[in-house]
Amino acid sequence: MLTVYRIVYFILKYIICILKPFLSNDLKKWINLRNKKIKTTRSNYKKIMFHAASGEIEYIKSVIREFKKQHPDVEIIVTYSSPSAEKLFTNLQTEVTAFVPLSWDTPTRIQNLLTELQPELIVFSRTDFWPELIYHAYKKNIPLIGVSMYPRFGFFQNVWLKFILKKFSMLTVVSESACQQLCSLLPNKNVIYLPDTRFDQVIHRLNSQSKIELITDKKVVVFGSTWPEDEQILVECVDQILKNNFRIVWCPHDVSKSRIEELTEQLKKYSVSKFSDGTTTINFKTDILILDQIGFLADLYRFSQISFVGGSFKAKVHSVMEPLCAGNTVIVGPYYKNNPEAVHFLKKKYVYTVSNSTEFLLVFENIQKGNQASEIKNTMMRISGSSEKMAILISEYLNKTT
C-alpha cells in the first residue's frame, strides 16, 4: 500500500507544482513551505518531535508545557504542515527549541528531515499522519505516539487507519466508544482512552489575563466562527434575542473586509460596532459587536452566557470546548457529530442542537431562564488533566529509547 501511496503522491505533487502559478496565494504558501530548507542547531540533548498540521497544535501545547516541567533538558521540536500554524506559536516560544515546516512526504526529503532533527520520539497531534514520515521513523526505531485522536470509521476509513497506525507504539483517543472501535480494529496496539488534552490548553488560557475587556449592562450571546449558512439562520433570531435584554457579539469565521461588509449590510437595521474601531477595553453599548479580527474569540466567551458555534449549519461544527470551559451553554446546528464534545455534552444539556431559527429561539428562551455556568465550569475542570498524564506516558516511552 505504501507503493500505491508513493505513486499517487508523486503524481499529485507534480501536478500541484506545475499548476502553482495559477493557484491561490494560500496554496502557493503551502507549496513554498514544503520547499523550505531545514536547519537546526545540533546538540547532545535528547529531542522529541511534536507534529501538528495547523490548529492541531492546540491539542499538544499543554502536553509540551507539562513535559517540559518534568524534563527541562529535553529539546522540543515542533513540525507543522500549514502556514496558518505559524500564528499559533506565540505562547510556546519558551518551551520549544525550534519550529520546523514539514517537507514533502517523499523518501529522500523525509530521510533528510530525520537525519537533521534526530528525534528520539515523534508525537502526532490529532490527525495529520504522513505515511512516508511514519515509515522511515519506524525503520529507525523511533517510537510513534498519536495524541487526542477522534477517528471516524467506515470501510475506507478503516483501511486507512490500519495502514497508517499499525507502526505506532501508543494511541490516545478522546472518545470511549471510538477507543473501543479502534481497539477492535488494531487489537495488538496500545490504544488508550484519555479525555481531550485541549481542555488543559483552553483552561490555561482562561486562567491567564484576557486580551480584551468587555463592559456591558446586559447579558451577552456570542455567535462564534459563523459561516454564511449559519448567518442565514441567526439573522432571523436577532430581534427576539435583543428583546430578551441580550447584546450580541458576532464573530464570523472569515474576517476579510468583503465578508465583514456583507455581514454588516445584513444587520443594517441594528446598531452595530466593530472590534477594530475601538481599543481592547470595549464599552459595549450597541446591539451587536462584530469581531473583525482573529485571536480574540476565546477571550470573548468569558463575558457571555450563551454561545452559538458556527460551521454547524454548513458541514462541520467548530470546537465547542472554549465556550463550555467559560461556562457558556452552547447551541449548534444539525452538523455537530464531527466534534466529540458536542456529541457528549448534548446528553448533559450543556449543548443543544437546532435545525432552524424557530428551534433556535425556543432553545434560547429555555436556556436564558436558567443559570448553569458554575455547573458547566466545574464539569470541565473535572475532565481536565490529561496533558499531565500524557506527558508521563511520553516520558515512559522516551526512557525506553536510552
Q: How many other C-beta atoms are found inside a 10 Å radius of the C-beta of residue 124? A: 29
Please report which residue ranges of 77-154 form alpha helices under DSSP H.
107-117, 131-139
Could you give the CA distance from residue 384 to residue 321 in angstroms, rounded to a whole number? 11
Kindly write down the DSSP assignment for every residue of 252-319, as one continuous string.
Answer: ES---HHHHHHHHHHTTTS-EEEGGGS-SEEE--SSEEE--SSS-HHHHGGG-SEEEETTTTTSS---
pLDDT at 186: 95
Same topology for domains 38-195+386-400 and 205-382, yes or no? yes
pLDDT at 39: 72
pLDDT at 11: 95
pLDDT at 294: 85
Determine the CATH number of domain 38-195+386-400.
3.40.50.11720
Burial class of residue 311 (count of CB atoms within 10 Å of its CB; 0-12, 13-18, 19+): buried
Q: Where are the domains of the chain?
A: 38-195+386-400, 205-382
At residue 52, φ and ψ (nearest 5 deg) are -140, 145
Question: Which of 167, 172, 192 has its CA nearest to residue 60?
Answer: 172
Could you give the CA distance from residue 319 to residue 341 in angstroms, rounded to a whole number? 8
Residue 358 corresponds to which cell in the numbers above? 424557530
Report in angstroms the alpha-carbon separations of 308 from 270, 331, 356: 19, 5, 13
Tens of pLDDT along the chain (402 residues) come to 899 999 999 999 999 999 999 999 989 999 999 988 877 766 778 999 999 999 899 999 999 999 999 999 999 999 999 998 988 898 899 999 999 999 999 999 999 999 999 999 999 999 899 999 999 999 999 999 999 999 999 999 999 999 999 999 999 999 999 999 999 999 989 999 999 999 999 999 999 999 889 999 999 999 999 999 999 999 999 999 999 999 999 999 999 999 999 999 999 999 999 998 877 788 899 999 999 988 899 999 999 999 999 999 999 999 999 999 999 999 999 999 999 999 999 999 999 999 999 999 999 999 988 789 999 999 999 999 999 999 999 999 988 876
Which residue type does 113 have? L
Question: Which of 127, 126, 113 has its CA nearest to residue 63?
Answer: 126
CATH superfamily, region 205-382: Glycogen Phosphorylase B; (3.40.50.2000)
Q: What is the largest CA-CA distance in the chain?
A: 67
Kindly write down the DSSP assignment for every residue of 353-391, as one continuous string.
Answer: E-SSHHHHHHHHHHHHT---HHHHHHHHHHH--HHHHHH
pLDDT at 402: 61
Q: How many other C-beta atoms are found inside a 10 Å radius of the C-beta of residue 44? A: 5
Could you give the CA distance from residue 82 to residue 80 in angstroms, rounded to a whole number? 6
pLDDT at 400: 80
| Global pTM value | 0.86
Whether 148 contacts 198, CB under 8 Å? yes
Could you give the CA distance from residue 372 to residue 374 in angstroms, rounded to a whole number? 6
Whether 77 contacts 97, CB under 8 Å? yes
